Structure 1
Amino acid sequence: MITDEQVSRVVDELISAATTRRPVQRLTARFPEMTVEDSYRVQNLWRERCEAQGRTLIGRKIGLTSRAMQMSSGITEPDYGVIFSDMVFESGSILQTRSYAFPRVEMELAFVLKDDIAGPNASIFDVLRATEYVVPALEILDSRIELANRTIVDTISDNAAMGVIVIGGTPMAPTEVDLRWISGILYKNQQIEETGVAAGVLGHPANGVHWLANRIAKHGDELKAGQIILAGSFTRPMPVSKGDTVFADYGQMGTVTCQFA
């Protein structure tokens, strides 16, 4: 474990890195004793500092939901981060490339809740009952910590590599469609770069949501009505740079686009 003083110092560095776009040295290189719980201590203090600055929590993101990503990271469960209101953009938005250090794009589904979901015994059925609608979303990953040789501990500390999300397409109730079979085609500059199907997210994208409700229940927290829960990617991260146009086709659920200026 690392000390409270070290946690506070790391959070100071991450806040600075978000402003300067200069990633900090990998935490696990400096603190090899850091654990997953230490990384959530860092993330929670970072969240508290952001809220103290006036940022509004409106949701959560779930990451590392695919089997392949878990195996490559050496973990057996997903991770999670928080979403603030200033992280959400509409389809068609022009994003400023200079705002990100290492921007990458993933295709996901976002659950918008009409009821609270509280663990520790939440199930997929609780998620489906509590969801008002599901909507296509692009997650723009970013990093405030250097990418080379980073581990799950570094990623969680960095708010699970959350940058922003772009929401669009056709909102649908979870009973209107078999969410496992929502497929995606991800284009960059009119070229297909990635394809995937939502069953790649833990067998069903709602599985990540009840996992999260149960995970945060350990800390006396719960998912709240009105929150957006980003359920996890079913495509690999696609790097983007200045001038790139992104187009994501979700079939019957519509499309989401953005451009990097």
Structure 2
Amino acid sequence: MEDRAAQGAAEWLLAKHRAKHRFTTLAGEAKPATVADAYDIQDRYVALLRRDKGESIGYKVGLTSATMQAFCRIDHPIAGVVLASRVHRSPITIRRADFGRLGLEFEIAVRIKSEIPATEKPLTAEAIAPHIGGVCAAIELVDDRAADYADLDVRSLVADNSWNAGIVLSEFSSNWPDLSLMRGRASRNNDPIGDGYGRDILGHPFNSVAWLATHLASRDTALKAGQIVMTGSVMKTVFPESDGGYRFDLAGLGAVEVQVFA
């Protein structure tokens, strides 16, 4: 995508977020013709966000489960950048009013311990495993700005940094059981609202990291030591409509909590 068009689209997205306007598809010369164009816009949009949101500390991978892909009518994962000021340690309290529309996604996060070399060949979970230094329960804060899912354009979603608005992490563990078999349970005010397994994330959370590493290599970058990767939600996004306490428990690993109020 031409630099001028990509920069214009990024500035338009920033203005829409600041005004808390509803999510709409990019149009005209700002509309990405390809997914690669969408990531060109995302790069420039994230560069604008870094001015007051801090540097990149990692990435989110979205739409990694059949449930989420069906929900968004998309058949492949997407990626976004996580910025330093948007990283929170559990427990936290957040206001719905600070978002266009707040969504919560219940995930397994990993911390990279050594750089994953860029390669033209798709990586595997087995190749990724030696580069993982920690795993934890996590909740992603997403802001879909009341998007119309019946008319959702994946390229505009990607350009909008794949809707990442923050992450909430439990303590990282350097020892973990088989993540594909790990069950995660979400609750609101101690009442169950959904669950899923690590295998719901592309068969295994490390497959999500492998997809991300391959995607980054296609854009001449790589996952580095210390970065965090949100591997994707084990269940459908929850959109809080009233005050409540949300908790995500990963059996044998830990729990993360978010208190939501108006």
- Specify the SS of the correspondent of 2:4: helix
Question: 1:211: how far off?
Answer: 1.1
Contact 1:24 1:146 in 2 (8 A): yes
Which residue does the alignment assign to 1:63? Answer: 62
Contact 2:90 2:256 in 1 (8 A): yes
Superposed, 1:147-166 pairs within 5 Å as 147-148=148-149, 149-166=151-168
Change (3 A) 1:33 1:249: closer
Query: Which residue number in structure 1 is paired with residue 131 of structure 2?
Result: 130
Deviation at residue 114 of structure 1 after TM alignment: 0.9
Q: Distance in 2 between matches of 1:33 and 1:223?
A: 25
CA distance in 1, matches of 2:250, 2:95: 24
Q: Map Cα deviations across residues 106-145 of structure 1 (whole Å, 9 max, x no partner).
A: 1111110110112324332232111111011001111257
Identity %: 25
Secondary structure of 2:224 counterpart: coil
Deviation at 1:187, TM superposition (A): 1.1
Partner residue in 2 for 1:7? 6
Equivalences, count: 258
User: Is residue 195–residue 235 contact of structure 2 (8 Å, CA) maintained in 1?
Assistant: yes
Does structure 2 conserve the Cα–Cα contact (< 8 Å) formed by 1:92 and 1:258?
A: yes
Indicate if the aligned counterparts of 2:142 and 2:165 stay in contact, CA closer than 8 A: yes
- Give the structure 1 partner of residue 101 of structure 2: 102
Within-5 A mapping of 1:229-240: 229-240=229-240
Residue 46 (structure 1) aligned with residue 48 (structure 2) = no
Match of 2:144 in 1: 143
| Deviation (angstroms), 1:71 | 4.7
Indicate the larger mover: 43-52 or 94-103: 43-52
More off after superposition, 64-73 vs 217-226:
64-73
Q: Could you say which residue in structure 2 is the equivalent of 1:115?
A: 114
Q: For residues 152-210 of structure 1, what are the alpha-carbon distances to aligned partners after superposition, in whole Å with 9 as ceiling and x for unaligned?
A: 11210111111111111x53336x31000111111123321111111000100100101
CA distance in 1, matches of 2:243, 2:8: 36
- Deviations 1:217-253 (CA, angstroms, capped at 9, x unpaired): 1111000100001111111001113422111121211
Aligned amino acid, residue 147 of structure 2? E
- Would the alpha carbon gap of residues 146 and 5 (structure 1) be closer, same or farther in structure 2, given more than 3 Å must change? farther
Residue 241 of structure 2: SS of its match in structure 1?
A: coil
Deviates more, 1:198-207 or 1:93-102: 93-102
Post-superposition offset of 1:104: 1.1
Query: Is the 1:28–1:150 contact (alpha carbons within 8 Å) kept by the matching residues of 2?
Result: no
Aligned partners of 1:219, 1:4: CA distance in 2, in Å?
16
TM-score in terms of structure 1 length: 0.90
Alpha-carbon shift at residue 56 of structure 1 (Å): 0.9
Equivalent residues of 2:137, 2:249 under 8 A apart: no
Note the aligned Cα RMSD (angstroms): 2.2
Conserved 8 A contact 2:26-2:32: no
TM-score of the superposed pair, with normalisation by structure 2: 0.89
Specify every segment of 5 or more residues in structure 2 that has no aligned partner in the other structure, as ranges: none
